[in-house]
């Protein structure tokens, strides 16, 4: 089985910073891509940032220049450094991993979600 565990959420004032981390464990053969999504109050889930095994990175326009996604491949970990936070960044953040299991199966897995609240 594969499990994703997130950490790093919390309450921060506007202009502050927060760092989220997500670690994948279990029957993993390789990871093709890791991403962060978020869902704000009354909103649909949206892609925040994604990084592929080939090094390609994409960000949502709303976070460009403020957020940075990175990976520690040896630890199967993806992080999201969030700077200059705004109240509109308030949401539940979910990590997502596209991977191949040792069985050969390719699938997407989701973390449990972590709350980020930015006060004005």
Taking alpha carbons only, the member of 120, 119, 115 closest to residue 41 is: 115
DSSP secondary structure letters along 4-44: EEEE--EEEETT--EEEEEEEEESEEEEEEEEEEEE-TTS-
pLDDT band at 67; cut points 50, 70, 90: very high
Cβ pair 20, 6 in contact under 8 A:
yes
If one compares 37 and 73, the residue with the highest pLDDT of the two is: 37
User: What local confidence, expressed as pLDDT, does residue 79 receive?
Assistant: 97
Contact 14, 86 (CB under 8 A): yes
Mean pLDDT on 100-105:
91
Q: What is the pLDDT of residues 12-65, one digit of tens each?
A: 999 999 999 999 999 999 999 999 999 999 999 999 999 999 999 999 999 999
């Amino acid at each position: 089985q594969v499990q994703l565990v997130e950490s790093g959420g919390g309450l921060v004032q506007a202009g502050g910073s927060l760092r989220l981390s997500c670690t994948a464990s279990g029957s993993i053969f390789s990871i093709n891509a890791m991403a962060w999504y978020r869902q704000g109050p009354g909103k649909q889930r949206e892609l925040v940032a994604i990084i592929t095994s080939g090094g390609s990175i994409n960000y949502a326009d709303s976070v460009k220049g403020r957020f940075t996604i990175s990976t520690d491949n040896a630890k199967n970990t993806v992080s999201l450094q969030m700077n200059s936070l705004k109240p509109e960044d308030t949401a539940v953040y979910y990590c997502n991993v596209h991977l191949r299991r040792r069985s050969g199966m390719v699938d997407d897995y989701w973390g449990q979600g972590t709350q980020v609240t930015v006060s004005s």
